[in-house]
């Protein structure tokens, strides 16, 4: 059964609200986990998920951690499963601030265009249930109602950036509620992604940076994903964080379990890079995405690597990103055109 709306109490002032997995076959959207936290007289909501049922659960969580007389709503990134209920900020009945990442505003305004870009990169993939333009509309239509902006919405980047020290690790980001809430730039899972540290309860919310060993979206940055996973692991080793939560794992991890989980993701990323080198090396560094994805999928299964919402569509998106990570580029715009490494030395000019 879906855990949608179930609550995990971390402490008297902090609750993780559980979402649900994507089910394309039955037309069910994924819904991201969110956090409800109180520091002093301020309610902090980290993401708002999507669907009316989840909105009700988020209200219940906010009431549980009360009382509060002001609110801070933080969006970790612009994907539909995280932002659909953002206008809840307008209904809390108290002074409220709401922040979103500037680099994700365009996809929040036009999620169809964002997903169309992602799907066109895998137009060759067998098993896509519809052409990219049709599928992009169908996917986005699952996330209803979609209200990513409210009356108070601003971007984080309108505030001066701060150098934030947590243990021995330095981040750039923004602090709120007299330093009790730290928003840290990560930008791996997608262009604007942030993670959130809640000082009073020791929670580090990774959101979707831990979705898998290789980011799937077209604007994912593999190096940033791996860098933030390593930095967060150090925070837990040093005791600067006590509880790890994320956008799609229905659990709260303590310090030792968090380090093991993060190390595991980095080990998986290293293993998949090695698999990709083997697959491309067999053809002299030139391979079609369809052939690469078939071998990549077999390796993912053998290694037991899943990630959030595992399915053939996201796997193909991961595979394309992995080819790019190796430095390969498509030889043409045709579907399933071979990828190869650009020549490092230009031929002599005649």
Question: pLDDT digits over 3-37, tens only?
Answer: 999 999 999 999 999 999 998 888 999 999 999 99
Q: Sorting pLDDT into bands at 50, 70 and 90, what band is 348?
A: low
Q: What is the pLDDT of residues 185-215, one digit of tens each?
A: 999 999 999 999 999 999 999 999 999 888 9
CB neighbours of residue 69 within 10 Å: 12
Whether 171 contacts 232, CB under 8 Å: no
Q: How far apart are CA 45 and CA 185, in angstroms?
A: 18
Backbone angles phi, psi at 185, to 5 degrees: -70, 135
Structure tokens at 13: 């002032």
With 80 as the cut, is the pLDDT of residue 254 above it? Answer: yes
∠85-88-90 over CA atoms, to 5°? 140
CA atoms 104, 23, 52, 184: torsion sign:
negative
Q: Which of these, 219, 209, 280, lies nearest to 249 by C-alpha position?
A: 209
| Beta-strand relationship, 34-39 and 42-46 | antiparallel
With 70 as the cut, is the pLDDT of residue 350 above it? Answer: no
pTM: 0.95
Q: How far apart are CA 319 and CA 45, in angstroms?
A: 34
Give percent of the chain with pLDDT exceeding 90.
87
| Average pLDDT rounded to a whole number, residues 80-86 | 98
As a whole number, the mean pLDDT across the chain is: 94
Q: How far apart are CA 186 and CA 171, in angstroms?
A: 9
| Average pLDDT rounded to a whole number, residues 264-279 | 94
Instruction: Please tell me the least confidently modeled range out of 20-24, 51-55, 248-252.
Output: 20-24
Beta strands in the chain, from DSSP E residues, in sequence order: 7-11, 14-17, 34-39, 42-46, 70-74, 96-100, 153-155, 162-166, 169-176, 181-185, 194-198, 203-205, 243-245, 329-330, 339-340
Residue 87 has what pLDDT? 97
Whether 215 contacts 321, CB under 8 Å: yes
With 90 as the cut, is the pLDDT of residue 309 above it? Answer: no
Helices 312-325 and 289-303: crossing angle in degrees, nearest 10, is 110
With 80 as the cut, is the pLDDT of residue 331 above it? Answer: yes
More confident residue, 253 or 127: 253
Residue 1 has what pLDDT? 64
């Amino acid at each position: 059964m879906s855990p949608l709306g179930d609550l995990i109490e971390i402490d008297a002032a902090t609750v993780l609200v559980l979402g649900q997995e994507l089910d394309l076959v039955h037309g069910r959207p994924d819904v991201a986990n969110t956090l409800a936290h109180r520091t002093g007289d301020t309610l902090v909501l980290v993401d708002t998920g999507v669907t009316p049922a989840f909105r009700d659960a988020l209200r219940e969580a906010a009431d549980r951690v009360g009382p509060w007389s002001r609110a801070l709503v933080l969006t970790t990134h612009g994907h539909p499963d995280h932002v659909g209920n953002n206008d809840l900020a307008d209904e809390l009945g108290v002074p409220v601030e709401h922040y979103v990442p500037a680099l994700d505003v365009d996809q929040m305004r036009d999620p169809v265009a964002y997903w169309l870009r992602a799907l066109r990169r895998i137009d060759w993939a067998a098993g896509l249930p519809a052409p990219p333009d049709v599928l992009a509309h169908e996917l986005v239509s699952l996330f209803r109602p979609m209200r990513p902006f409210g009356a108070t919405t601003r971007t984080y980047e309108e505030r001066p950036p701060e150098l934030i020290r947590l243990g021995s690790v330095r981040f750039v980001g923004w602090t709120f509620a007299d330093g009790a809430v730290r928003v840290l730039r990560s930008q791996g899972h997608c262009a604007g992604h942030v993670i959130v540290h809640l000082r009073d309860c020791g929670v580090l919310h990774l959101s979707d940076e831990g979705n898998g060993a290789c980011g799937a979206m077209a604007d994912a940055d593999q190096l940033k994903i791996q860098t933030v996973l390593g930095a967060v692991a150090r925070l837990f080793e040093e005791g600067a964080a006590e509880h790890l939560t994320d956008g799609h794992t229905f659990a709260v991890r303590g310090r030792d379990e968090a380090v093991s989980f993060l190390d595991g993701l980095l080990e998986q990323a290293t293993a998949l890079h090695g698999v990709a080198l083997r697959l491309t090396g067999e053809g002299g560094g030139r391979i079609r995405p369809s052939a690469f994805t078939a071998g990549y999928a077999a390796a993912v299964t053998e290694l037991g690597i899943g990630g959030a919402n595992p399915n053939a569509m996201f796997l193909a998106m991961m595979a394309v990103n992995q080819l790019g990570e190796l430095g390969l580029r498509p030889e043409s715009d045709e579907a399933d055109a071979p990828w190869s490494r650009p020549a490092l030395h230009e031929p002599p000019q005649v």
